[in-house]
């Protein structure tokens, strides 16, 4: 399976359990990998036969910067759901990182990773 990837997309949003997260917001980074057959695009040099990077970015941006949630797990699932709804990918892997989490202790970053495969029975 071929893949298209995005590394360290940066957003500012208001997700989190702690009151200061929803009041002040924080940075989030998103890494993304989308699995699909890239041969048709490579052979034809046709953007319509792959995923448009800008459209993927805008989908992720609107989801991450959209309605706040408490859990990064919920946010990651929403990103994947939107990607499956808009793009013909076989799987999506996403990592969402909070680079500066407001939790006691010294952390460089925390976050989640999820990988989901498209369920063809649901189409």
- SS3 category, 82: helix
Catalytic status, residue 98: yes
- SS3 category, 50: coil
Secondary structure element (H or E) that encloses residue 28, with its range: strand 26-36
Catalytic residue among 3, 67, 86, 98: 98
Residue 33 phi, psi (nearest 5): -135, 130
Contact 32, 93 (CB under 8 A): yes
24 vs 28: CA distance, rounded Å: 13
Residues classed as catalytic: 98
């Amino acid at each position: 399976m071929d893949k298209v990837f995005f590394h360290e997309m940066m957003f500012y949003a208001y997700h989190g359990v702690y009151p200061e997260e929803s009041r002040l917001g924080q940075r989030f980074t998103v890494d993304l990998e989308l699995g699909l057959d890239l041969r048709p695009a490579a052979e034809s040099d046709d953007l319509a036969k792959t995923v448009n990077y800008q459209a993927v970015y805008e989908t992720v941006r609107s989801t991450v910067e959209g309605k706040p949630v408490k859990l990064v797990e919920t946010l990651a699932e929403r990103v994947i759901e939107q990607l499956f709804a808009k793009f013909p990918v076989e799987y999506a892997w996403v990592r969402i990182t909070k680079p500066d989490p407001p939790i006691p202790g010294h952390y460089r970053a925390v976050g989640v990773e999820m990988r989901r495969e498209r369920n063809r029975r649901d189409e």
